[in-house]
Amino acid sequence: MGFLADSLSRIKPSATIAVTNKARELKAAGRDVIGLGAGEPDFDTPENIKEAGIRAIREGKTKYTAVDGIPELKAAIVAKFRRENHIDYAPAEVTVSAGGKQVLYNALMATLNVGDEVIIPAPYWVSYPEMVALGGGTPVIVQTTMESGFRLTPEALEAAITPRTKWIILCSPSNPTGAVYSAAQLRALTDVLLRHPHVWVMTDDMYEHLIYDGVRFATVVEVESRLKDRTLTVNGVSKAYAMTGWRIGYGAGPSMLIKAMATIQSQSTSNPTSISQYAAVEALTGTQDFIPKNAALFQQRRDLVVGMLNQANGLYCPMPEGAFYVYPSCAPAMGKTTKGGRKLATDEDFVTALLEEEGVAVVQGSAFGQGPAFRISYATATELLEEACIRIQRFCGNLT
Task: Scan residues 357-396 and list those touching ligand PLP (CB under 6 A).
Answer: none
Judged by CB under 6 A, which of 35, 37, 39, 253 binds ligand PLP?
39
Judged by CB under 6 A, which of 87, 171, 280, 309 binds ligand PLP?
171
Q: How many residues bind ligand PLP (CB under 6 A)?
A: 13
Nearest to 199, CA basis, from 171, 158, 167: 167
Distances (CA, A) of 64 to 71, 89, 194, 277, 337: 13, 25, 41, 11, 57
Q: Is-contact 160 388, C-beta < 8 A?
A: no
By C-beta, is 128 or 350 nearer to ligand PLP?
Answer: 128
Rg of the chain over Cα atoms, rounded to whole angstroms, equals 21
What distance lies between CA 329 and its chain's CA centroid?
20
242: three-class secondary structure by DSSP: coil
By C-beta, is 19 or 399 nearer to ligand PLP?
Answer: 19
By C-beta, is 172 or 329 nearer to ligand PLP?
Answer: 172
Rounded Cα gap, residues 60 and 396, in angstroms: 56
By C-beta, is 125 or 167 nearer to ligand PLP?
Answer: 125
By C-beta, is 139 or 249 nearer to ligand PLP?
Answer: 249
Binding to ligand PLP by residue 279, rule CB under 6 A?
A: no
Task: Scan residues 57-116 and list those touching ligand PLP (CB under 6 A).
Answer: 99-101
Residue nearest to ligand PLP (CB): 99
Rounded Cα gap, residues 75 and 91, in angstroms: 6
Q: How far is the CB of 260 from ligand PLP (least distance, A)?
A: 20
Task: Scan residues 123-142 and list those touching ligand PLP (CB under 6 A).
Answer: 125
**84 φ/ψ angles, rounded to the nearest 5 degrees:** -100, -25
Q: Is-contact 96 277, C-beta < 8 A?
A: yes
By C-beta, is 38 or 67 nearer to ligand PLP?
Answer: 38
Binding site for ligand PLP (CB under 6 A): 39, 99-101, 125, 171, 175, 204, 206, 236, 238, 244, 249
